[in-house]
Structure formats: structure tokens, C-alpha cells
Amino acid sequence: MRNRGFWSCASLAFAAIPAAPAAADGPYVDVSAAAIWQDNVTNATPGDGVLGAFTLESSANAGWLKAADFSTLLSWGVGATADICTTYSGLDSVSAVASVGVRHKLGLGPYAPSLYAGAEADAAAFSDSARSSAGGALVARLSQRFDEALQVEVDARGCAYGANSEVYAGSYLSAGATLNWDVSDAWRIKATGGWRDGDVVADYAAVRTPYGWGPADTGAYSYTGARALVRTFGEPFIAYRGVYQTWSYGVGVSPAVGPDTSLTLMYTRSSTAAYDRYVNNVVSAGIVHHF
């Protein structure tokens, strides 16, 4: 690895995950597979190199639970994900995550809210090795069920990560809300909304100038963040890192196709205020099975 900060961040992140207690319920295992289309994988503004990409994703997760008292659960887990980008092979990746947390129920009865607080550590290796990274996050989540059919979750996250290339390192804060509505025994409707503030990497189409490679949009020369010439997308692009805000919303449906298996179809749209404003539209279709 070329970036010493990558290893420092990885060591600190995984040190935050303590050894799991020996006696617990589990493992609770789920596996999933999805096909994902994103119309702006470069995070570029209109006319500056907007490219779409199609990705196949598979993941597996295992978790354990241990009761600390009648209203508190300790939880920990591990997971792994593999992504194959059929459009740009440099975006192929494998990643792993470990987590530990505490869930506490704030009251009695089936509709009492529950609060979760935890820590995560993760690492990802990309075919484009400059993007390979490791990081850690603190997570908080409040869950409230109003009746048998309606549930709301509100979550917050603070994350920091290092990478092989400085342009892909950074940190962010995020918050989001998810509404789950079980309209029948077989169908669930989901609505999401989110906010993110922190480092973002945007890629702009590049041209060769007398002074080297630069963005085709001359207005982007005023950009002052970390930057790098990348060839992930076949043609030369300039990758920029800066601190911006993103707002997003999404809708989806999830029909059950068996007692432990469900399909998912989700659409998410996000808008980021960067050098200019860029928009991402993501559509995913997948299947999840719980063991």
C-alpha cells in the first residue's frame, strides 16, 4: 500500500471491534444478490463526463445476539460483499465489515421504541487499487413501530476512512429515515430520505493542455481540493475531492416469495451541491434470503 494513512486508519478501525462474547444466540445469516444501475457513476455535472454503470452485487452477513438484561441486547456481526461492474472493471471490488453494538428497548410492550448504538470497521479492495480503503464508523439508530404494519427508523452515522490515494480518503456525517409499511403479509413498501455532509469525489472529463492534463470544463480549474488523473473509465478523467452536502430520497417495494426470502426493487435519487450541482439516479433489483 502506498498510503501510510490507509494502514493507520485500518488499524484504528479494527481495534475498535472487541472480541465477541462466547455464549450467544446465532449466527443469524442472510445472503443477497442484486443488479444495480447508476446513471452518474462519475459524479459529474451535466456535460462534464456523466457516465452510467451497471453492477452485479452479492453479499453475506452473519450476526449474533446476547441478552444483557430483559430490555438490552448485545449484538455483533461480520459481512462480506463482492461487486462486479460490468461497465468499468476498475470499479470491481470486494469488501468486509465487522460491527458491534448495544440495542436497548425504551419501555414495555411491542410498540416501545428501541435505541441502537454501535461501531463498525470495514475495508475494501478495488481493481483500481487507488480506491482501496479502510475505515471506521460510529452508528446510532432509533426504531419505532406504531402498529403491526408501520415502522420508522431514524439513523445517524459518523465515518472516517483512509485510502491508497489521498483523493479517495476522507470523512462524513450522515442522517436518514426509513419508513416500512407492510401492506399485506406478502408486500412491503419502503420510503427513505437522507442527508450527508462530507468528502465527495467527482470525476470530470480531462483534456491534455500545454501544462498537462486538466478538466475539459475550464471553470473546474478553480477547484482547490485533492485531485488525481484517473483512467478508471477508459478515457482520462480528473478526480476531485471536496466537502459537499447531499440530499436523497427513495421508494421501493419488497414482495415475499417464501417464508425466508424476499425480492427488492428500489429507486433512489440524490442531489449534491458541488463545483456545480450533480444528480445520481440509482435503480436496484435483488433477492434476500434469511437462514
CA dist 72 and 232 (Å) reads 46
CA dist 139 and 146 (Å) reads 23
Q: State yes or no: pLDDT of 12 exceeds 60.
A: no
**Higher-pLDDT residue of 211, 174:** 174
Q: Give me the CATH code for the 4-19+32-290 domain, please.
A: 2.40.160.40
CA dist 83 and 60 (Å) reads 12
Contacts of residue 12, Cβ cutoff 8 Å, sequence gap at least 6: 136
Terminal Cα-to-Cα distance of the chain (whole angstroms)? 37
pLDDT at position 6 is 45
CA dist 119 and 78 (Å) reads 12
Per cent of the chain over pLDDT 70 is: 86
CB-CB contact of 275 with 219 (8 Å): yes
Q: State yes or no: pLDDT of 155 exceeds 90.
A: yes
Q: State yes or no: pLDDT of 160 exceeds 50.
A: yes
Interval 236-282: pLDDT, tens: 999 989 899 999 999 999 999 999 999 999 999 999 986 678 999 99
Taking Cα atoms as reference points, which of 4, 21, 34 lies closest to residue 66? Answer: 21
pTM for this structure? 0.85
pLDDT at position 71 is 92
| pLDDT range class, residue 46, cuts 50, 70, 90 | confident
Residue 147 is given by DSSP the state: S
Q: State yes or no: pLDDT of 218 exceeds 70.
A: no
Phi, psi of 73 (to 5 degrees): -120, 135
Q: State yes or no: pLDDT of 215 exceeds 70.
A: no
**Once rounded to an integer, what is the mean pLDDT over residues 5-20?**
46
pLDDT at position 16 is 44
What's the Cα-to-Cα distance from 237 to each of 42, 212, 214, 227, 229, rounded to whole Å?
A: 9, 12, 8, 10, 6
Extents of the domains making up the chain: 4-19+32-290
Q: State yes or no: pLDDT of 3 exceeds 70.
A: no
**Higher-pLDDT residue of 53, 45:** 53
Taking Cα atoms as reference points, which of 216, 194, 196 lies closest to residue 205? Answer: 216
| pLDDT range class, residue 32, cuts 50, 70, 90 | very high
CB-CB contact of 179 with 152 (8 Å): yes
**Once rounded to an integer, what is the mean pLDDT over residues 135-152?**
96
3-state secondary structure of 11: helix
**Once rounded to an integer, what is the mean pLDDT over residues 101-129?**
95
pLDDT at position 108 is 87
Q: State yes or no: pLDDT of 70 exceeds 80.
A: yes
**Higher-pLDDT residue of 23, 37:** 37
Taking Cα atoms as reference points, which of 96, 100, 120 lies closest to residue 12? Answer: 120
**Largest Cα–Cα separation, the chain:** 71
Query: 51: which 3 cell numbers?
Result: 457516465
Dihedral through CA 165, CA 171, CA 175, CA 176, nearest 10? 10
pLDDT at position 157 is 98
User: How many C-beta atoms lie closer than 10 Å to residue 38's C-beta?
Assistant: 20
**Once rounded to an integer, what is the mean pLDDT over residues 139-159?**
96
3-state secondary structure of 234: coil
CA dist 285 and 114 (Å) reads 30
pLDDT at position 222 is 53
- Reported in sequence order, the residue ranges of the chain that DSSP labels E, i.e. its strands, are 25-38, 53-69, 72-85, 93-105, 114-126, 133-145, 150-163, 170-182, 187-209, 212-215, 227-230, 237-258, 261-273, 277-290
| pLDDT range class, residue 15, cuts 50, 70, 90 | very low
Q: State yes or no: pLDDT of 8 exceeds 80.
A: no
Q: State yes or no: pLDDT of 123 exceeds 90.
A: yes
Taking Cα atoms as reference points, which of 278, 208, 191 lies closest to residue 242? Answer: 278
